[in-house]
A and B are shown apart, each in its own frame.
Chain A
Amino acid sequence: MGNTLAEKLWRDHLVTKGEDGAPDLIYIDLHMCHEVTSPQAFEGLRLAGRQVRRPDLTIATEDHNTPTLNIDLPIADETSRIQINTLRDNAKEFGVRIHSLGDADQGVVHVVGPQLGLTMPGMTVVCGDSHTSTHGAFGALAFGIGTSEVEHVLATQTLPLKEFKTMAINVNGTLPKGTTAKDVILAVIAKIGTGGGQGYVLEYRGEAIRSLSMEARMTICNMSIEAGARAGLIAPDETTFEYVKGRPHAPEGSDWDAAVEYWKTLVTDDDAVFDTEVDLDASELEPFVTWGTNPGQGLPLSATVPNPEDFPEESDRTAAENALTYMGLTPGTKLRDLDIDTVFLGSCTNGRIEDLRAAADIIKGRSKAQNTRFLVVPGSARVRLQAEAEGLDKVFIDFGAEWRNAGCSMCLGMNPDQLKPQERSASTSNRNFEGRQGKGGRTHLVSPLVAAATAVRGTLSSPDDLEDAPAALV
């Protein structure tokens, strides 16, 4: 019997095989750090008198706490400033490379790794951040870890782990125009639930996945964690190799040839067996949005707010009741009729250049809905520079959007970009949890296309709700 891609990656990083129920010891190729989940790990090293074993496989950047305005001024919030300074001090003390605020390579850690060419097929990638699953788009085994594990990787460059189970997500058919990778993953999560992926690596397969760009694949793998999965994976192909080639840390010459030769073996064998398989027909998808307070509570944009009484399971019913109360929604209301106060375009899910281009295409030559605020936050400083080189900043500013510096921004309420209580957002980020974007804030997760159309109309909208919608999208 053959092996799945996940099994091959595991096998190729096995330092020791666990015996008598003990976990395997897995080698980590790349460890990324940010300011929030690392201070206590570095402190742990210091207390134990340990060093970072492989600073040359470690990189840090600042993203969660950083403001997206006035980045050349001292950070106003004292606790944020202390946390960021702590990361800078730790990086210096332990010899870890860091890209700080103001540096062209600063940004959301999961945007920075791939753009530097540090994320490649066949690697193991970890970070103290659950959205590390993003890097699985390259055919790398990439997963989020807690602070104790951050310390463990810093000290040993390994992790003790039990092998993950495998699940195939077969996305067959062709995506209709106007639907995106974000709609695919929101539909997957709605289908299998926020706990459906627990213990599994999800391998996304099928025609619809093959046709996606690298950035779109990252969007899909990014949200694997929202289905509870350990990681997401997409087998590498020419699209992947093309994306990696020529990036600052991409292999060169004979190293490149050797790498590609190996990468081509990183596919699930035809006779391999997954622990579970799930099928999804891409051709039936339409723009998907969430109505509730977890990413599994999603529906097509054409739907209405569900009635909790229609859920057969009691726990789902209670969860829906709680969600509707928090979200201030009434069953039966058309999702398209919901007024949106703030549109957020950005995050490790949808803050890359293609996301900005797609949104800019829709809003170009239009004006923003008067009562809706539109925040555009590039995923990294490089993405911002690239967008400016293409003139996208001007499109956004002319439209009436706020053009910001890079960071996690409104994806999570730990920097100045937050929703006010009861404020309703359409957000291209990944979590609609209670209070995630600010205490009392109400989040609807959407694709960049829906975000842009919503910013035009002021209510949840898709591009085909617009007059003279761009032909490519309808």
Chain B
Amino acid sequence: MEKITTHTGVGVPLRRSNVDTDQIIPAVYLKRVTRTGFEDALFAAWRGDPDFILNKPEYANGSVLVAGPDFGTGSSREHAVWALKDYGFKVVLASRFADIFRGNSGKQGLVTGILSQENVELLWKLLEAEPGKQVTVSLEDRTVTCGELTVPFEIDDYVRWRLMEGLDDISLTLKHEEDITAFEATRDAWRPKTLPAKTEPKQHVVAARPAQ
């Protein structure tokens, strides 16, 4: 994973609360089996609206999204993070994030910074007053700077360290392989195994047909 310490880019004010992952990427785009190429799917339903913020040329190259509270609620789809990243976003700022979305972002190197809603409003005003204005996000200092305004943001210490070091979780966990093996030796006999497979007797499932 790429190391991130600071990022500077165009800030995009998204004045919406409860932006769920179905809005970030509708389900119809989840059928792909690749990990990249989701940029066209980002906010697909809203991008049909000419007034949508990303359709305004000043914001089209945005890389810092400043959103309303409860960003990323709903489905666990990591595609939401991939779509934001593929579009070019490096940072999302909001006063509250859904847990799974925030977790997914950390794994994929998308910074999610928690700001007070008051500071989100200040950023919105600045970014709307001057479309295309740059925002600098420093993981080092945990600050967001936009023109004269510098405000603090919160991020989990461990996630911040991992992002700044560019470390991936699986390699870190595999350092504990002996602990995992030792734990497995203590597991109770009643805990179920999927293999060998056990089922009720096999039965034929009749295929439903379209109504006449």
Contacts and interface: CB of A to CB of B under 8 A. Distances in A.
Interface of A: 15-16, 18, 21-23, 25, 27, 29-30, 36-37, 39-40, 43, 48, 50, 55-59, 64-65, 68-73, 77, 79-80, 82-83, 86, 97, 102-106, 116-118, 120, 123, 128-130, 144-149, 151-152, 155-158, 160, 162, 194-195, 198-199, 225-226, 228, 230, 248-251, 255-256, 258-259, 262, 294, 315-316, 318-319, 322, 381-382, 384-385, 402-405, 412-414, 431, 433-436, 439
A155 B170 contact: yes
A262 to B, nearest CB: 7
A36 B22 contact: no
A64 B173 CA distance: 30
A145 B69 contact: no
Nearest to A412: B27
Contact of B33 (A30, A39, A157): A39
A148 B107 contact: yes
B22 A433 contact: yes
Contact of B173 (A36, A105, A160, A194): A160
A71 B188 CA distance: 39
A18 B169 CA distance: 13
11 contacts: A15-B183, A21-B157, A36-B30, A69-B210, A106-B205, A129-B75, A147-B79, A228-B99, A315-B68, A318-B15, A413-B27
B211 interface: yes
A56 B104 contact: no
A146 B78 contact: yes
> 9 shortest A-B CB distances, which residue pairs?
A146-B104, A148-B107, A259-B190, A146-B78, A39-B33, A414-B27, A248-B198, A79-B31, A251-B190
B2 interface: no
Interface in B7-50: 15-18, 20, 22-23, 26-28, 30-35, 45
B205 A385 contact: yes
Interface of B: 15-18, 20, 22-23, 26-28, 30-35, 45, 68-70, 73-79, 81, 96-100, 103-104, 107-108, 117, 156-158, 161, 169-170, 172-174, 176-177, 179-180, 183-184, 187-195, 197-200, 202-205, 207-211
Nearest to B177: A156
A195 to B, nearest CB: 4
A383 to B, nearest CB: 11
A462 B93 CA distance: 42
A146 B197 contact: no
Given A23-B158, A86-B33, A146 B103 contact: yes
B25 to A, nearest CB: 11
Given A70-B210, A433-B20, A145 B76 contact: yes
B173 A156 contact: yes
B74 A130 contact: yes
A439 B26 contact: yes
Contacts of B28: 413-414, 439
A195 B203 contact: no
Contact of A130 (B100, B117, B184): B100
Given A22-B158, A146-B100, A318-B17, A157 B180 contact: yes
Contacts of B200: 104-105, 248, 382
A158 B187 CA distance: 14
B78 A198 contact: no
Chain B interface helix/strand/loop/mixed: loop
Given A413-B27, A433-B22, A194 B45 contact: no
Nearest to A115: B200
B78 A37 contact: yes
Given A29-B192, A156-B174, 4 more contacts: A156-B180, A194-B73, A228-B99, A258-B189
B203 A104 contact: yes
Contacts of A433: 20, 22-23, 74
A193 to B, nearest CB: 8
Contacts of B157: 21
B103 to A, nearest CB: 6
A294 B73 contact: yes
B209 A69 contact: yes
B166 to A, nearest CB: 14
A322 B17 CA distance: 10
Given A146-B76, A433-B74, A439-B45, A152 B208 contact: no
A70 B76 contact: no
Nearest to B107: A148
Contacts of B34: 40
B100 A80 contact: no
Nearest to B197: A97
B99 A256 contact: no
B31 A72 contact: no
Contacts of A228: 70, 73, 98-99
Nearest to B210: A69
Contacts of A30: 192, 194
Given A15-B176, A152-B173, A322-B16, A104 B190 contact: no
Contacts of A50: 170
Nearest to A436: B22
Given A97-B197, A439-B45, A255 B189 contact: yes
Contact of A258 (B18, B23, B190, B192): B190
Contacts of A147: 78-79, 104
A262 B212 CA distance: 54
Nearest to B174: A156
Contacts of B98: 195, 198, 228
Contact of B194 (A59, A71, A103, A225): A59
Contacts of A130: 74-76, 100
Given A194-B18, A414-B27, A431-B22, A71 B208 contact: yes
